[in-house]
Amino acid sequence: MSRGRAALAGVTAAAVAIGVAEPVAVLTGPRSAPLIAVGGLVVDVVPEPLKQFAIAVFGTYDKIALLVGTAVLLAAIAALLGVLAARRLLLGLAGIAAFAALGMASALTRAGADALDALPSLVGGALGALTLWAFVAGPLRENAGPWTPPTTPRPETATPAQSGPAQPPASAPPAVAALARDEASAGWEPQEPAGDESRRRFLRGVGLLAGTAAVAGLGGHWLAGRRGVSAAREAVRLPTPVAPAPPVPAGADLSVNRLAPFVTPNREFYRIDTALVVPQVDPATWRLRIHGRVRRPLELSFDDLLARPMVERHITLACVSNEVGGDLIGNARWLGVPLRELLDEVEPEEGADQVVGRSVDGWTCGTPTAVLRDGRDALLAVGMNGEPLPVEHGFPVRMVVPGLYGYVSACKWVTELELTSFADFDAYWVPRGWSAQGPIKTQSRIDAPRRRDGLTAGPVTVAGVAWAQHRGIRRVEVRVDDGPWHEATLAPTVSVDTWVQWSWRWDATPGDHTLQVRATDAAGETQPEQRRPVAPDGATGWHTVPVKVG
């Protein structure tokens, strides 16, 4: 078997393994599919700098990049396994078994996994191994005899000694000629078909099996998608809040071209999480357990939650991984139950200084109990901008806490609140090098003009947003080319928990210039010039934008 064929056989076997696992995963849940399960394990174990690199390079496409990367790596290894198998079949089969075991182990170690989650990798591995065997030693192997005895009658008078393959008429087209030759040789040498026949059978096998893998994979994926919760989400009727959101003041939106809108539409809201497949949580079976160091543990259904008085608030959510000038920030109108009220009911014990939010997928965040009870509008949210939470933003229920980065507070698909202490428990990102405490740092961003925008000399509107959630913004200043600072005009905003838009009229002169912005919070604290990276507790520095004026 040539190396090329052996490699192709290996890749086909891997494709079969991954493809047929998909329809099985329709039964056991998308997170048990081998590619997703292993990818999820990779997300949890890759070193933080690499993850940062992925976020920086691929932006929010890091997940697709991870899956494509995993697939490419897998194909390379599978090709190698094919070559290995051609020499010693057992080695190739052992390689496939090792991969199946990895897939099974990954699926079984995910949060909330049960024994059935091993099934997709098991079935995939078995059929992948069967495929490899078929190519290397089974019916699809090189020089294997035909599957069914040839029906072509032998040429009447021919004997192996005196007659070669029958010759087609000289005028026959090449395909017919090839066919004639094949049939003849099949008739003559059942154990040793000509190289052409063998190659054709090999390629037919590859095509058929790869096609089956693709159909099974895509079909399974599609079916799994139909089992999602979008219908359940559409059926949710959100209650009217007893405390509606204060209206957005006229003028909060400066409506400058390229400036982020005051309220971020759900479709444009940034998304950050460790979930390779969006958890599909059925509100009918959803439960929230509030437990741990409390005197009166509480369990709520979705209907219990909806029956409670709801408040609606604009709150600006920000990610700790947001670089200076970055867009991992958004402002929405959230509808939910105040977490303060729920905590009052369960009566936390003294010293239970941390509330751990736990998602259905096992992700955790740790929020200071004191912050949740200090009177701010920390919400157990069910609505976002007038709709049930979008599935990727945590449907049916998530946390939203003004003033804290998402990684310590904004648990999506939340199913548990556990009262504990910071001394006793580290949430997901803490052992990975991020600070246990994550108050949002004061920041400001220039949205208009953008980097290297071509501008014409004369008046130019410089505009952007600034935020210091739960403290509020007092002042925003802009400067050009390290010149004097100019105070920008602040648009009205809803509350200290939301960002604020600002603008400044610049009389631009021809040439290359640098615009810079800095904000001061309501306590009089100005954001520091010193640039610090996002880890461990949020970037600092002034957003700087080079522009060209013609």
Ligand X SMILES: Nc1nc2c(c(=O)[nH]1)N[C@H]1C(S)=C(S)[C@@H](COP(=O)(O)O)O[C@H]1N2
Stretch of 146-154, 300-308, 358-366, 482-490 lying at the interface with ligand X (CB under 6 A): 358-366
Q: Which two tokens stand for residue 320?
A: 């700790």
Least distance between Mo ion and beta carbon 513 (Å): 33
In sequence order, which ranges of 59-146 are alpha helices (DSSP H)?
62-87, 89-109, 119-136
Query: Could you please report the per-residue DSSP string of 14-42?
Result: HHHHHHHHHHHHHHH-GGGSHHHHHHHHH
Instruction: Map tokens 């010759």 to a residue.
Output: 167
Residue length, the chain?
550
Strand 354-359 vs strand 364-368: parallel, antiparallel, or unpaired?
antiparallel
Tell me if 317 contacts ligand X by CB under 6 A. Answer: yes
Interface with ligand X (CB under 6 A), residue from 32, 359, 442, 498: 359
Task: Give the closest residue to 280 by CA, choosing from 230, 325, 241.
Answer: 230
Number of residues located near Mo ion, criterion CB under 5 A: 4
Scored b (16 or more CB within 10 A) or e, 359-384 reads bbbbbbbbbbbebbbeebbbbbbbbb
- Is the Cβ–Cβ distance between 378 and 339 less than 8 Å? yes
539 binds, among ligand X, Mo ion, none (CB under 5 to 8 A by kind): none
Token pair for 369 = 């109990």
For position 411 contacting Mo ion by CB under 5 A, the verdict is no
Q: Does 133 bind ligand X (CB under 6 A)?
A: no
By CB under 6 A, residue 413 contacts ligand X: yes
The number of CA neighbours under 13 Å toward the Cβ of 202 is 25
289 versus 548: smaller Cβ distance to ligand X = 289
Q: Which of 17-25, 182-190, 403-411, 415-423 is the region at the interface with ligand X (rule: CB under 6 A)? A: 403-411
Question: Least separation, in Å, of the C-beta of 25 and Mo ion?
Answer: 28
Interhelix angle 89-109/62-87, rounded to 10 degrees, is: 150
Beta bridge partners of 399: 380
Angle at 228 between CA 226 and CA 232, to 5 degrees: 115
CA 334 to chain centre: 23
458 φ, ψ (degrees, to nearest 5): 120, -165
User: What's the closest the beta carbon of residue 244 comes to ligand X, in angstroms?
Assistant: 22
DSSP 348: B
Taking CB under 5 A as the criterion, which residues in 207-236 touch Mo ion?
none
The reply on whether position 121 binds ligand X by CB under 6 A is: no
The answer to whether 406 contacts ligand X (rule: CB under 6 A) is yes
Q: Does 319 bind Mo ion (CB under 5 A)?
A: yes
By CB under 6 A, residue 52 contacts ligand X: no
Write out the binding residues for Mo ion, residues 477-506 only, by CB under 5 A.
none
Of 315-323, 331-339, 450-458, 489-497: span binding Mo ion (CB under 5 A) = 315-323
Binding mask 264-283 for ligand X (x = CB under 6 A): -----xxxxxxx--------
Least distance from C-beta 110 to ligand X, angstroms? Answer: 13
Asked whether position 393 contacts ligand X by CB under 6 A, the answer is yes
Does 412 engage in binding with ligand X (CB under 6 A)? Answer: yes
Determine which residue in the list 410, 427, 478, 517 makes contact with ligand X, applying CB under 6 A.
410
CB of 322 to ligand X, least distance (A): 8
Residue 329 binds Mo ion (CB under 5 A): no
The DSSP code for 228 is: S
Site for ligand X contains 51 (CB under 6 A): no
Among 30, 406, 464, 538, binds Mo ion (CB under 5 A): 406
Half-sphere exposure of 191 (CA within 13 A, CB side): 0
According to DSSP, the β-strands at 458-467 and 443-448 are antiparallel
Q: Work out what residue 411 binds among Mo ion, ligand X, none; the CB cut-off runs from 5 to 8 Å by kind.
A: ligand X
Closer to ligand X by Cβ: residue 32 or 316:
316
What is the contact surface with Mo ion in residues (CB under 5 A)? 272, 319, 406-407
What is the contact surface with ligand X in residues (CB under 6 A)? 269-275, 317, 319, 359, 361, 363, 393, 406-407, 410-413
